[in-house]
Structure 1
Amino acid sequence: MNKDTVDGNLKQVKGSVKEALGKVTGNTRLEVEGATEKVAGKAQEAVGDTKDAAKKAADKLRD
C-alpha cells in the first residue's frame, strides 16, 4: 500500500461524508462535491494500486 492508495481511500471517505451531509441538509452543491470527491479518490486509489502492481512485477522479475 502506498501514499496514493491511502490518500485515495481518505478522499473517498471524506467524499462520502460530504455527500451524506449534503443529502441530509438538502444542500445539492455539497452532495455533488462529495460525489465528485469520491470519484477522485477512487481514481487516486487505482493509481496507487497500479503502482503497487508494477512494483511487485518488477520485484518478481529481479528475483
Structure 2
Amino acid sequence: MENRSVFSLDGITGMLIATVLLLSILAGLTMWGLGVQQGSAANFYQIENEKEIKMISTDNAAHWVEVK
C-alpha cells in the first residue's frame, strides 16, 4: 500500500519550494546585474591611437583609457 499525500515534497509543497527558489534566484541575479550595469555606466573611457587598432589582436585592450 502506498502512502500518498498532496503536501509531500513530490506534490504542491515541492512545486511551491521550486517556484520560490527559482524566483529568488531570478531576483538576486537581476539585482546583481543592475548593480554591475550602474557601476559600468559611471566609468567612461577614451580610445587612444585609433589608427593602430587591428581587427584581430589581443593588444587592442591597451588602446582604451578610463576617463576620470
Q: TM-score, normalised by structure 1?
A: 0.53
Q: Given the alignment of the two structures, is residue 61 of structure 1 paired with residue 51 of structure 2, yes or no?
A: no
Q: Which 5+ residue runs of structure 2 have no aligned equivalent?
A: 45-68
Q: Which residue, out of 7, 10, 14, partners 1:28?
A: 7
Instruction: State the percentage of identical aligned residues.
Output: 5
CA apart distance, 1:27: 3.4
The structure with higher relative contact order (CA 8 Å, sep 6+) is 1
Aligned pairs, how many?
Answer: 38
Give the whole-Å Cα distance in 1 for the aligned partners of 2:27 and 2:14: 20
RMSD: 1.4
Instruction: State the AA in 1 paired with 2:21.
Output: A
Q: TM-score, normalised by structure 2?
A: 0.50
Q: Which 5+ residue runs of structure 1 have no aligned equivalent?
A: 1-25
From the two aligned structures, give the one with the greater strand fraction: 2
